[in-house]
Chains A and B, each alone.
Chain A
Amino acid sequence: METLILSVVLMSYFGATAIWLAYLLIQQERLYRYGVWVMGGGWMLHTLNLILAVMEQGYFPGASLGQALRLFSWTLVGTFLFLTWRHPIRVLGTLVAPLAALTLTGSLILPQPGPVAPLLQSLWLSFHIATALLGNATFTLAFMGGILYLVQEHQLKSKKFGFFYRRLPSLEALDALNYYCLTIGFPLLTAGIITGSIYAQYTLGSFWRWDPKETLTLIAWLIYAALLHERLAVGWRGRRAALMAIIGFLVLVVTFVGANLWLQGYHSFESFVRQP
């Protein structure tokens, strides 16, 4: 049952990718709407899958890299759908859909973990995972917006207008996306850090242990804090804000994936599950 649901979800994410790529090429309004329906339908099923998992286990399944990736693709699509409702930037779908599809594929390819360590079987920890991943998803959207901003800004500055000029939204809209994601993502990331350290205090006896993942997250948090402050205080916007969003995201990627593969620490996914 679980595999069936997930493969339908995967198909719908890939389907939305194909539809939105076609939308990018031929710019037919209709296609964009179809994409939203396909994506939305897939996300509903994805949500159902998660609810079933939580009901079965009693906590969020996020202890292995595979599970975390699956959860990430869910939060990414969810935040994107929320965003299209509040702040539509259509071309963003063409980036979000393939990323969601690929992360979900990755989660299905990666080996299924054994039972989770008892330390992590807690609902409180689920808050930590949910807020941190929602923050990550929001910053992923900010990163994509940043890339699009740089492309569009380059065309306007160099006065050479290519394939993307007509297909990308205005600079103002992309910059507004950056701000919007920042104001949502920053509190989420902060909440993720706070809930995590409270849980660490309860279970491990210390709030902060300077583990590689914690350190890198702190660096990313500082980058976003600086960007938010400078935006509000001296009006950093446009190019600089886009660059900061990109750098912050790269740090997050290292935190999320790299820290598990290259760096060893108590926070890496391997240490979460009992090795079979």
Chain B
Amino acid sequence: MNLVLLGINHRTAPLEIREKLAGGLQDLSAGYQALRHLAGLKEVLLYSTCNRVEVLFTTADPPKTVPRVQTFLINLADLPTEEQERIMYIHQEGEAVQHLFRVASGLDSMVMGEPQILGQVKEAYRLATQQQATGAILNRLLHKTFFVAKRVRSETGIGCQAVNVSYAAVELARKIFGTLTNKTALLVGAGEMAELAVEHLKRYGVSQIIVANRTLERALKLARRFRGDAISLAELECQLLRIDIMISSTGATEQILTRDQIKKAMRLRKQQPLFLIDIAVPRDLDPEINTLDNVYLYNIDDLQGIIEVNRRYRQQEAVRAERIIAAEALKFLQWRESLAVYPTIIALQKKADQICQHELKKTLSQLGPLTPAQIKSLQVLTQSITHKLLHDPILYMKRNHHPKDTSREINYIRRLFNLDQE
């Protein structure tokens, strides 16, 4: 039985092809139905996200089955056949295992280490089990995958540290204030990045949002969205006493707050820390403000600098993640190899033997002095009991095993006798 992974992703195929493929796989159950009719496929898992479409399957005869699956994918997207060579990758065995591990850990994602992909793979696996498309090998592989992804996440820094501007602002806020609960944020102006930052802040506990805008109408609209208060720009200075975090993103050409204004406000605030994020270009806030005590001013370049550093950090951590993945893939392949008839028989006999030895030792120590002949006959007794007991299971494995799905049966037997202790 061979493990094959076939697919396209954001690196090999342009968006329009990925779109077409994902469109063709809108209804995954229909996809499973079609794949089930392909000859030679045993177990299948299909997953499609905006950046990738991949089919993972086991087959006894890859040279015949792989082209069938390729044709299935090509038909889905109406691709010219000559394109497939270029955009489609095929991984087998160990490579396929490693690829799946890398995908689930976010190493293969567009944004290195992003966490959503694991949920998507989990969801795809849930669907596959609903369709009863997976079997002993893929079930084990997927559980292993979730374990590896979790390990990579907890043992490497691949998922920590923000790699987008709005989230970087939240991380900084948490380094300044600790907790964001009961903090108040002020949004001046509007803009996608600024609004996203406010949403992140809200999710991390900021309890009150105030929105200021040149036109009160726009301010009211945004305030409704964030369930906050709307104020006019003229009130800005006195609002400085109420807030802890300010995100500024106006189209104004001159500075809206000067160092002196902030200095005065800080005195009235009794030096409560103030975190100012200026993502406007040209800048809204006087850069000199950062020299004041307990005031932290970040502009768009500062934030970009942070996420650049974080990206590099994630890249470094990816090397460590690859090491974990390679080791775990090796372990999985070892388990796969043990999933054959003879290694299982040997493992079974070995286990029986160990139990015999152990019990014999216990009994002999209780019985007191015995003649060698008595000891010998006790040994024979225990061995013949276990041999008789194991005779039928072993015979079943050797002769009667169901030719259609060996791995499933062997898997049952291994679990029944607990041969892979975990």
A interface list, Cβ under 8 A from B: 152, 156-157, 159, 161, 165-166, 169-173, 234-240
Bound CA span A159–B302, Å:
7
Residue from B172, B176, B290, B294 within 8 A of A237 (CB atoms): B294
Given contacts A159-B302, A234-B270, A239 and B178 within 8 Å (CB-CB): no
- Show 6 residue pairs from A and B whose CB-CB distance is below 8 angstroms, ordered by the A residue: A157-B296, A170-B174, A171-B176, A171-B178, A172-B176, A235-B269
Chain B residues whose CB sits within 8 angstroms of the CB of A172 once the complex forms: 176-179, 273
Chain B residues positioned under 8 Å from A159 (CB to CB):
298, 302, 305-306
- Give complex CA distance A165, B272 in Å: 21
> Lowest 5 CB-CB distances: which A-B pairs, in order?
A235-B270, A170-B178, A235-B271, A172-B178, A238-B294
Residues in chain B near residue A166, CB distance under 8 A = 160-161
Knowing that A159-B305, A171-B273, A236-B271 are A-B contacts, what are 4 other residue pairs whose CB atoms are under 8 Å apart, sorted by A's residue number?
A170-B175, A171-B175, A234-B267, A235-B270
Tell me, yes or no, whether B254 is within 8 Å of chain A by CB: no
Say yes or no: B302 contacts A152, CB within 8 Å.
no
Interface residues of B in 269-324 (CB under 8 A from A): 269-273, 290, 293-294, 296, 298, 302, 305-306, 309
A175 to B32 alpha-carbon distance, docked (Å): 59
Closest Cβ neighbor of A233 among chain B residues:
B270
Which residues in A have their C-beta under 8 angstroms from that of B160?
A: 166
Interface residues on B, range: 20 to 34
Residues on the A chain within 8 Å of B302, using CB: 159
Known pairs A152-B175, A156-B175, A239-B294; A161 contacts B306 (CB<8 A): yes
* A236 to B294 alpha-carbon distance, docked (Å): 10
Main secondary structure of the interface of B (DSSP, over half): mixed
Known interface pairs A159-B298, A170-B178; A240-B270 also in contact (CB < 8 Å): no
Contact A157 to B290, CB < 8 A, known contacts A170-B174, A170-B178 = yes
What is the minimal beta-carbon distance from A130 to any residue of chain B, in angstroms? Answer: 33
In the assembled complex, the Cα of A171 lies from the Cα of B175 at a distance in Å of: 6
- Name the residue on B nearest A240 (C-beta): B293
Chain A contacts for B306, CB-based, 8 A? 159, 161
Q: Note all chain B residues with C-beta closer than 8 A to A156.
A: 172, 175-176, 296
Chain B: CB-nearest residue to A156: B296
Check A169–B178 contact: CB distance below 8 A: yes
Residue of B whose beta carbon sits closest to that of A155 = B175
- What residues of A have a CB within 8 angstroms of the CB of B177 in the complex? 170-172
Shortest Cβ gap from A62 to chain B (Å): 38
Residues of chain B contacted by A165 (CB below 8 angstroms): 175
CA of A16 to CA of B179 in the docked complex: distance in angstroms? 29
Query: Which residue of chain B has its CB nearest to the CB of A176?
Result: B178
A161 interface neighbour in B174, B271, B309, Cβ under 8 Å? B309
A159 to B269, CA, bound (A): 24
CA A234 to CA B267, docked complex, whole Å: 8
Residue of A nearest to B272 (CB): A235
CA distance A239 to B266 in the complex (A): 14
Residues of B within 8 A of A239 (CB): 293-294
A32 to chain B, nearest CB (A): 15
Bound state CA distance, A84 and B387, in angstroms?
A: 60
B290 CB, min distance to chain A CBs, angstroms = 7
A170 with B176, Cβ < 8 A, contacts A235-B270, A235-B272, A238-B273 known = yes
Report the Cα distance A151→B270, complex, angstroms: 23
**Chain A residue at minimum C-beta to C-beta distance from B302:** A159
Cα of A158 to Cα of B284 in the assembled complex, Å? 20
For A152, A166, A169, the residue with the greatest tally of chain B CB atoms inside 10 Å of its CB is A166
Q: Which residues of A contact B294 (CB under 8 A)?
A: 237-239
Hey, what's the 0/1 contact readout for B332-351 against A, CB within 8 Å counting as 1? Answer: 00000000000000000000
A236 contact set on B, CB distance < 8 A: 271
Q: How far is the CA of A170 from the CA of B290 in the complex (A)?
A: 18
Give the residues in chain A near B296, CB-CB below 8 Å.
156-157
- Chain B nearest CB from A158 CB (Å) reads 9
Cα distance A159–B275 in the bound complex, in angstroms: 13
Output the nearest chain A residue to B275 by Cβ-Cβ distance.
A156
- Measured between C-beta atoms, what is the minimum distance from A149 to chain B in Å? 11
Enumerate chain A residues within 8 angstroms of B290, measured Cβ to Cβ. 157
In the complex, which residues of chain B have a beta carbon less than 8 angstroms from the beta carbon of A235? 269-272
Inter-chain contacts of B270 with A (CB < 8 A): 234-235
Q: Which residues of B contact A161 (CB under 8 A)?
A: 306, 309
With CB as the reference atom, state the residue of chain A lying closest to B291: A157
Q: How far is the CB of B259 from chain A (nearest CB, A)?
A: 15
Residues of B near A171 (CB, < 8 A) are: 175-178, 273
Q: B271 contacts which chain A residues (CB < 8 A)?
A: 234-238
Per-residue interface assignment for chain B, residues 175 to 189, with 1 indicating a CB less than 8 Å from any chain A CB and 0 otherwise: 111110000000000
Docked Cα-Cα span, A96 to B271, in Å, equals 29
- Which residue of B has the minimal Cβ distance to A171? B176
If A159-B298, A239-B294, A240-B293 touch, does A173 touch B172 (CB 8 Å cutoff)? no
Cβ–Cβ < 8 Å partners of B267 in chain A? 234
Q: A159-B306, A161-B309 are in contact. Are A238 and B293 (CB under 8 A)?
A: yes
What is the bound-complex CA distance between A159 and B272, given in angstroms? 20
In whole angstroms, what is the CA distance A69 to B231 when docked?
A: 59
Q: Which residues of B contact A169 (CB under 8 A)?
A: 178
